[in-house]
Amino acid sequence: MLGGYGAVGARIVDGLRAGGDVALAAGRDAARADVRVDLTVPASVRAALTGIDVVVNAAGAEDPALAALVTEHGAAFVDVTATTAYVTALERLAPPRPVLLSVGLAPGLTNLLAAAVHDPAAPAPIDVVLMLGAGEHHGEASYAWAYGLLGRDFRDPWTGTAVRNYTRGLRLDLPGYGRRRVYRADYSDQHVLTRDLGVPVRTRFGLDSRAATACLAMLTRLPGASRAPRGLRFPGTDRWLALARSGNGTTRWATGHGEVRATAAVAVSAARAATTLSPGVHHLHRVSALGDLPGDAGIRLGSSPRDLLPVP
């Protein structure tokens, strides 16, 4: 488990061990790691792979060469990443062992929700929404990733037009939140899903704090926004919501407390499934469904308008 003593990684290690798996936390900090490894040194990585079936990467290291090295040495590779360019680079690999992507909250759970509302017989555009609790401690890497989107553009996966992160707000009725404005953000799920489902998929983002969401939308338009300070924190809860809404009227959503807990639960399930897959690059929605989620993951699912009640 790369990054096995970080905010998400430690949860994944605990989840695997709770299910009877042998899970080792790997990293550079000898005081916290079960296996010391320096990801910048290939020989160090190779030495750590002896007897390993699956490597889960939650270290924030986004290097396709790492996935190639791991799979060439006989282990499956699972990556908890939301970065579009990195996912695209991994998809260019032809690994001799499985590489499994889209294995967290977003992407991951959002992929499963989008696949659940997609009707191949009546294809329609899909909006994916991710609401996170501003009050949860997500870890420095997660904050840096979110702030790193400020002031940056990405290509809409359907039209190819440039979209600025945290712009193009849309007001939606969201379970437990009421009517909220959410903004486009460059999560990798929309790019993969648009290609795989053959319909426009657009991911939108917000924080449970209205002020924090509005602040992101304001900062992203300022010159030099991509260099904004990364340490800014907002008040809020640890509640999260992931939702997919199809233009055909179908909605599926999932909610809970603790983004880290949910991300880890999905990643644990993915790690266990990875060894059964064929060689090549896979995404979670191609090999799993909402019904495969563990029952003890603290994830509440809903679909009908009657479910649109405040989250306890």
Q: Is residue 117 part of a domain?
A: yes
Phi, psi of 61 (to 5 degrees): -80, 115
Query: Comparing C-alpha atoms, which of 169, 236, 177 is closest to residue 209?
Result: 236
* Mean of all residue pLDDT scores within the chain: 91
Q: By the 8 A CB rule, do 148 and 165 touch?
A: no
- The residues near 308 (Cβ < 8 Å, ≥ 6 apart) are 173, 175, 176, 302
Domains held by the chain: number: 2
Residue 87: pLDDT above 70?
A: yes
Instruction: Please tell me which residue, 135 or 139, carries the higher pLDDT value.
Output: 135
Task: State if pTM tops 0.85.
Answer: yes
Same domain assignment for residues 116 and 228: yes
Which domain, by its residues, includes 238?
109-259+293-307
- Give tens-digit pLDDT for 3-14: 999 989 999 999
Establish if 1 belongs to a structural domain.
no
Q: Which amino acid is at 264?
A: A
Please tell me whether residues 227 and 302 are part of one structural domain.
yes
Q: Are residues 302 and 207 in the same domain?
A: yes
Q: What would the pLDDT profile of 254-266 be if each residue is shown by its tens digit?
A: 999 999 999 999 9
| Higher pLDDT pick, 110 / 141 | 110
2 part of a folded domain: no
In this structure, are 77 and 114 located in the same domain? no
Lowest average pLDDT, out of 16-20, 40-44, 294-298, goes to 294-298
Alpha carbon distance 105, 261 (integer Å): 9
CATH of the domain at 167: 3.30.360
Q: What is the mean pLDDT of residues 268-294?
A: 95
> Dihedral (C-alpha) 154, 193, 16, 78: value to the nearest 10 degrees?
-60
Question: 170 with 303, same domain?
Answer: yes
pLDDT at 101 over 90: yes
pLDDT greater than 60 at residue 138? no
* 21 and 128 fall within a common domain: no
Are residues 96 and 217 both part of a single domain? Answer: no
